[in-house]
Amino acid sequence: MNDPRKAFEMKLVELGREDKRIVAVSCDSCAGGGLSAFFQEFPERSIEVGISEQNAVSLCAALSRQGLLPVLVIINPFLTMRAYEQVRDDLGYMNSKVIIVGSGGGLAYSTLGSTHIAVEDVGLMRSVPHLTVLAPGDADEVEFCLEQAIAADGPVYIRMPRQARSAPVDGPRSMKLGKAEVLSEGTDGALYTYGPSAEEAMKACRILSESGTSLSVLNFTTIKPLDAEAVLAHAKGKRAVFTLEEHIPTGGLGSAVAEVLAQAGAGVPLHMLAVPEGAKNTGPYDELLAFYGLSGEEAAKRIAAALNTSASETK
């Protein structure tokens, strides 16, 4: 397993050496947020704003207007919720080329209390005009997303993972901006996911395969724009579709998939495996995943139960 924030840190330094426009901006997130090495190597292109998230977003918009390329790192809920108005107005409406990184998405900061848990951010960021939404889960995906964000037009939001994760599959990866990555092909159901949940999705897939249940698993590292073609293609002929995410049902990948399926009249049942709305429990990360039914083992049980119910109803 590789630390995703360390991968981000090293990749940003590498990109900073190549592109002199890149400026790192921190809201008291330098040491743990993946900016420390950049600050050390490029102090003249590094800005510490302190606990002033709204000002930081507006500052980055101004830097962008001067031809610079700001990369802003803030603990997730303090970026996506406290500074939401500035993200919408200064970045989205103005289509400012700024990369904003929400450090520790989902349940990543589960031991620090409910105020640090970010399970509404995808829904908020999906609604911002012009904003590309990326959600990596492991070190390789973090590097890919940062490279794509630098090259993309317009503002980009990256949902940065915190815990070290293994790649969901062995061997070469097929990652493309705006396209889902097919991790497994199956015939019974389709499981759509992103971020750290991709590893849990593949655990569930392997558990279910032992009992003869075959799942397609798709990893949506790009949540916006969503790969609607992949959503529909892999839902076709399945008994049910599932989404797995560290997010509430409202506004997340489950909602995005529901929009695609409904608009196409796909007629396939959708089950959202997500964090319940209003959840305030805190504790060790892995234990909280299991508590909410989002670990590979618990997800496998929920998927098996739904598919068995579906099979009995069609008899």
DSSP 276: P
- In the chain the domains, ranked by start, together with CATH numbers, are 4-160 (3.40.50.970), 181-310 (3.40.50.920)
Q: How many CB atoms lie within 10 A of CB 206?
A: 14
- What's the token pair of residue 141? 């995906």
Mean pLDDT, rounded, of the chain: 95
Q: What is the mean pLDDT of residues 53-79?
A: 97
- Count CA atoms within 13 Å of residue 167 on its CB side: 15
Cα separation, 100 vs 108, in Å, equals 18
pLDDT at position 165? 84
**∠ CA 78-132-220, rounded to 5°:** 100
Q: What is the mean pLDDT of residues 129-141?
A: 97
Query: Which residue's entry shows tokens 């508590």?
Result: 291
Cα separation, 71 vs 258, in Å, equals 32
- Spell out a b/e string for 48-57, using b for 16 or more CB atoms within 10 Å of the CB, else e: ebeebbbebb
- Spell out a b/e string for 154-185, using b for 16 or more CB atoms within 10 Å of the CB, else e: ebbbbbbbbbebebbbeeebebebebbbebbe
Q: Is the pLDDT of residue 255 over 90?
A: yes
Q: What is the pLDDT of residues 173-216, one digit of tens each?
A: 889 999 999 999 999 999 999 999 999 999 999 999 999 999 99
Least confident of 47-56, 71-80, 277-286: 277-286
Q: Is the pLDDT of residue 166 over 60?
A: yes
Higher per-residue confidence, 166 vs 187:
187
